Amino acid sequence: MCGIIGYTGTDRGAIDVLMNGLSSLEYRGYDSAGVAVADSSLAVFKREGEVSALETAIPDDDIGGTAGIGHTRWSTHGPPSDTNAHPHTDCTGDVAVVHNGIIENYRTLQSELEADGHTFNSDTDTEVVPHLIETALAEGATREEAFRQAVQRLEGSYAVAAVFEGDETVYAARNESPLVLGLGDDGYYLASDVPAFIEYTDRVVYLEDGQFARVNPSGIVVTDEQGAIVETAVETISWDPEDAGKSGYDHYMLKEIHEQPTAIRKCLRERVTEMEGSITVSELADLERQGPVQFVACGTSYHAALYGARLLREQGVPAQCYLASEYDVESLPVGNETLVVGVTQSGETADTMRALRAANRVGASTLALTNVVGSSAARECDHVMYIRAGPEIGVAATKTFASQQVALAMLSQVLSPDRTPETDFIKRLRTLPDRIQRILDESNAQAIAETYVDADAYFFIGRGYNTPVALEGALKMKEITYKHAEGFAAGELKHGPLALVTEATPVFAIVTGESNAARTIGNIKEVEARGAPVVAVTDSPSDVDQYADHILEVPSSGPRCTPILSNIQLQLVSYWVANQLGRSIDKPRNLAKSVTVE
């Protein structure tokens, strides 16, 4: 749940590359940062707080060395502090290590090392790694052997990288935590995510679980757990550095909200043909569904999965949605005919990966619906469908949620027992980008946010396809405003939550479509009677106007597509409330973009 950057080369100073990489990884969420540069000696700098605090700790005079590692930490073991920040070193200060993930057996290893005379300075699990390396070196191992021996003693998840005094080589390994290598013209890179080095190269190699990498100015060598060299495929990233910039917007989140028309067009491109009335997802051409579908996901992706499961049930497909952290193949009917769909923006979400791996072990077919080419989910599942949203830097997901919804809408047609094209549905999917653009151009969300910025709490309600949108609307409000917010199926409001409704509790009611609108209006009347202000997100303003204090209008696009539009309005409300409050919108406290620990 943090970021790693590494570099080795001949023409570029390591410190500049490392600091640029850390700045590019800030979106992942972190509470401290540090770097280690290897030259004739090992220079280590680390600080609690933002990368800017680290910058002030680095002396202005030139720091030699063309090899180094950097890290942004999201605390799991020990609070944020200078001491707990990575990199961590051994007793001699000759080796420095950075690590993502959790080392489950670190207590046992630390006790063993302390008994042998090693001294520990931090509260972290990571610090055992440099001491294990130190021990192996003392026993006569080479640096590569010592690194390999240390890693092989670790239990848990990790992406780990190390540098040594007087060595231009960076050593790295991974297990259930992402690590990608970059091949540049003037050096070689490694990182948790491509944005860390995309300004230098677009050629990458993805490490697999159990693989080791030796990276020096001469090139990259990847080996397996036994030390045998592994042939690797070099892939080219299809987006350029400008895609990861703010493009003049105040925040990445606002930029990414406004990128949703483009993102959805990319998701639909060459898959939906309105003229022929067809949906064709070429990467799923060999996908055969025989039995039930089970979705596993977390957070925003879980809300998208709820939407997808409902779409499938409407098509006559038995489909259920599970929080990945609660998914248990031992207590669920999962078999050879089950299709388990992991919805994960990053393709690295630890809980979702655990669920998908469990499903694979019992013989289920697995499908990854993800945004990241070459991610763990994409490589390990039997099938993969990319949502094509492009890089999303803001921690709070926006365009990836909309793209997931659209991808799931297409998947529902692919998996439908009745393959007869739904011409009207296909037409509505094709019109989504233009209708989202209309919302972005005309939305009054900023004014509504200013009206209710001082509210005590926010409630979001919806029915049917709008229930996941209500849940997502509340999650966005929590994530970036730090205000209390709750989302409910509208009918559940009266079964307890109504006790919390006051005049200082705005209720955002999603009222779209014909079948459920009347009942949701009934719920609006319930909160109105308690004095709560009501904001209606609706495609029928004339039907709701008399019951609501404010209207957020969306174009009518049918019961299955209109919820995608409703979500855009709620994203804007949350953004503008957070902006009014002066929150850290792109890097909300305590949160990480890619959640790689369980």
* Closest among 252, 264, 250, 251 to 567, alpha carbons compared: 264
Question: Rounded CA gap, 523 and 511, in Å?
Answer: 10
71: helix, coil or strand? Answer: strand
CA 306, distance to chain mean position in Å, is: 18
Distant-in-sequence, close-in-space partners of 482: CB < 8 Å, separation ≥ 6: 581, 583, 588, 589
- What DSSP line would sit under 350-381, residue for residue? HHHHHHHHHHHHTT-EEEEEES-TT-HHHHHS
Q: Which residue has the tokens 């005379």?
A: 117
Nearest Cα residue to 371 out of 293, 304, 466: 304
Q: Which residues pair with 536 in a beta bridge?
A: 509, 551
- Pairwise CA distance, residues 28 & 573, whole Å: 23
Look at residues 236, 204, 237, 239 and name the one whose alpha carbon lies nearest to residue 222: 204
Catalytic residue among 2, 267, 321, 381: 2
CA distance 312 to 51: 45
Alpha-carbon gap, residue 174 to 596, rounded angstroms: 12
**Residues 203, 236: Cα–Cα separation, whole Å:** 5
**Catalytic residue selected from 399, 476, 478, 593:** 593
Determine whether 593 is an active site residue.
yes
Which residues have a Cβ under 8 Å from the Cβ of 565 and sit 6 or more positions away?
A: 432, 435, 436, 439, 539, 554, 555, 557
Q: How many residues comprise the chain?
A: 598
Is residue 2 part of the annotated active site? The answer reads yes
Q: Which of 248, 256, 299, 244 lies closest to 568 in space, CA to CA?
A: 256
Q: Which of 74, 27, 23 is nearest to 51 (CA)?
A: 23
DSSP labels for 287-336? ----S-EEEEE-HHHHHHHHHHHHHHHHTT--EEEEEGGG--TTTS---T
Q: What is the dihedral of CA 127, 129, 131, 133, to 10 degrees?
A: -160
Residue 434: phi and psi, rounded to 5, are -65, -35
Could you list the active site residues? 2, 593
